[in-house]
Structure 1
């Protein structure tokens, strides 16, 4: 495999100013597939003659494949040029997504999603490191933040648009929409990302997982996993939970999902500011109590679209704001290992999404959609206990 031999300076005229935003758009494109099917589960289930809980496993399979295959592929392509690795990721993702769009059976849809997830799992970390290499050192944090904003954009805009489209034309139309996003992103990468980008020496798999020997890191990651399992149990089955309010309308569901994503953007920014003032532990505790209260109140509002929108907006303030305090706390345990710790944090989010499909599916089978909120609220309170344990471990070890 060829290695990268030509460094690209941030001031080089060959580096397009649009390179970093285009990488962010790429993350938006590959993350939309991960979130958009949450609004399509009832239609997906109807198409294949399976229950909504069974259809929800498409989210589990996608997220688990991202968590497992992403680090492996990133290590395998570590010595490739960054653009070559990115284009491979887009190609694999597009191949899997096209397969999902034409899948004649649910098992083949799951297999296609595994392929697509491999592309997503590779694209995101490579896009983040490439963005950092395209700018001056003092702007690297901002560049990575811009790229990872693609996840929030996928939640706020990609998923609602895809849900509305699927409501009008069917779930396969939603998948073709995601394919189109990937193709646009791939063409933009070819045009705007340099052939050679200088990046730090790559870590092997052993270096990537070495921090897991530290029980403080494990406790902090466990908190992230449990907290976001609570959030994504709600998000994965949002169509089923709010079916009484939306009447099965893809357009109304899209409004709910857009509200959730748009408010989450503001909430995430506010959480960052609050972390600097009071610390990540207190912000995390506030978010988890807030989330648990909102989730427990879900059965009170799902008969009314207006009340549902209001509660979703209230929930969104805290639900997707927990990543910021958790990353602050995690990096604080060992600042020199910040890139590896952030990578582990991203992987554990995929694990949380995977668990949400299973836990939410079981909750629907056992309690019905009305009981999902109570189950998710209990998980959020469990995450609060885990957060406090992680804090005590960090403090006892001088972290």
Structure 2
């Protein structure tokens, strides 16, 4: 049986771990009114809880990873330890007596989450052959794709029936299960598999930073549009409020399908997958911006964004792993750059609306970021094809 026919069960465990981490990040969106009432704060302050988590991911993950590398802690021990910290912070969030305590807990969860996601990518890469990394990563990242489809609705349902604290404890319980399985099933390492010195030297690789730049622009382009998709669908397209949730679920399914397709070609056609994905993303964003009152064209373009965007993650990760040795610092920095791209896209879309350019303005911001992403990958793609031609000669 070829290696393509199966992946280690632990790869799926890592996917479940990322599912729990990302669900915790975005679950606040599904219970904003309840949190606002519980802590007597505005909806904007509740929304900041997502930003605090993202801030912890973007700024806290890399320093924590550097510390772990400096102390020579193995990837498995580091992952289990950080998941334990994440569970403790999650428990503090679930039992938080005040808004400041909840905000602090969310920041700590974000720091631990960024380092955990980087370690999940590193452990995944070490468990499979190089030619299977893209496919394995697509399975791990399916946890990220499933979060908005299943995780956030699940936590919203629990909050509706049992309260927001019960929902928070449910995520803690899921993370606890994943941690227990990680401690029991992941292969042990004899010291950190990649030294801090080697990881630090890797960061001088220009190809790595080029890959980071493209990844940040892809996610920025996607979330410039997705962050404001609900008001666009309701006020511009004319979708009934009750139909937004099914459309978001359909968008999530498109993410999963795109992720599987990209994962299939991420190893063998990395730059080609990124390039054509960006072309499709840019055209979908422009089409959505220009669709006007054409209902089905609007919906088709919205779903097309789901087929690309975040679904390009396996190719983005494969490119980073080809540019540099797959280690915790390299992968955690990638996570931080992606988080920064998310923040940039969301901010840019909101700034365009505030400037008076209309609700569809974020779509043009996304299209502009996608164009920059496309430009960032054209030169590496041309170099890759030149090297391939020379090799054949």
Question: How high is the TM-score relative to the length of structure 2?
Answer: 0.76
Q: Establish whether residue 313 from structure 1 lines up as the match of residue 303 from structure 2.
A: yes
CA distance in structure 1 between the aligned counterparts of 2:362 and 2:287, rounded to whole angstroms: 12
- Equivalent position to 1:383, from 362, 370, 385: 370
| Shift, 1:386, TM fit | 4.2
- Equivalent pair of 2:65/2:332 in contact (CA under 8 Å): no
- Equivalent position to 2:283, from 259, 277, 290: 290
Quick one: structure 1 residues 321 and 144, their matched pair in 2 at CA, closer, same or farther if it must change by over 3 Å?
closer
- Equivalent pair of 1:59/1:354 in contact (CA under 8 Å): no
- Equivalent pair of 2:134/2:264 in contact (CA under 8 Å): no
| Structure 1 segment 197-208 matched on structure 2, within 5 A | 197-198=189-190, 201-204=193-196, 207-208=199-200
Could you tell me which residue of structure 1 aligns to residue 50 of structure 2? 59
| Shift, 1:396, TM fit | 7.8
- Equivalent position to 2:222, from 209, 214, 231: 231
- Equivalent pair of 2:251/2:302 in contact (CA under 8 Å): yes
- Equivalent position to 2:89, from 96, 100, 114: 96
| Shift, 1:38, TM fit | 3.3
Gaps of 5+ in 2: 1-6, 388-393
| Shift, 1:349, TM fit | 1.0
CA distance in structure 2 between the aligned counterparts of 1:128 and 1:176, rounded to whole angstroms: 26
| Shift, 1:218, TM fit | 3.8
The alignment yields a C-alpha RMSD, in angstroms, of 4.0
CA distance in structure 1 between the aligned counterparts of 2:12 and 2:128, rounded to whole angstroms: 12
Q: Establish whether residue 156 from structure 1 lines up as the match of residue 149 from structure 2.
A: yes
| Shift, 1:182, TM fit | 1.0
CA distance in structure 1 between the aligned counterparts of 2:155 and 2:103, rounded to whole angstroms: 19
Q: Establish whether residue 23 from structure 1 lines up as the match of residue 14 from structure 2.
A: yes
Quick one: structure 1 residues 237 and 33, their matched pair in 2 at CA, closer, same or farther if it must change by over 3 Å?
farther
| Structure 1 segment 153-232 matched on structure 2, within 5 A | 153-194=146-187, 196-198=188-190, 201-204=193-196, 207-208=199-200, 210-211=202-203, 214=206, 217-232=208-223
Quick one: structure 1 residues 344 and 84, their matched pair in 2 at CA, closer, same or farther if it must change by over 3 Å?
closer
| Structure 1 segment 201-280 matched on structure 2, within 5 A | 201-204=193-196, 207-208=199-200, 210-211=202-203, 214=206, 217-236=208-227, 245=239, 247=241, 254-272=245-263, 279-280=272-273
CA distance in structure 1 between the aligned counterparts of 2:352 and 2:98, rounded to whole angstroms: 25
Count of residue pairs brought into register by the alignment? 372
| Shift, 1:160, TM fit | 2.7
Gaps of 5+ in 1: 1-15
Question: How high is the TM-score relative to the length of structure 1?
Answer: 0.75
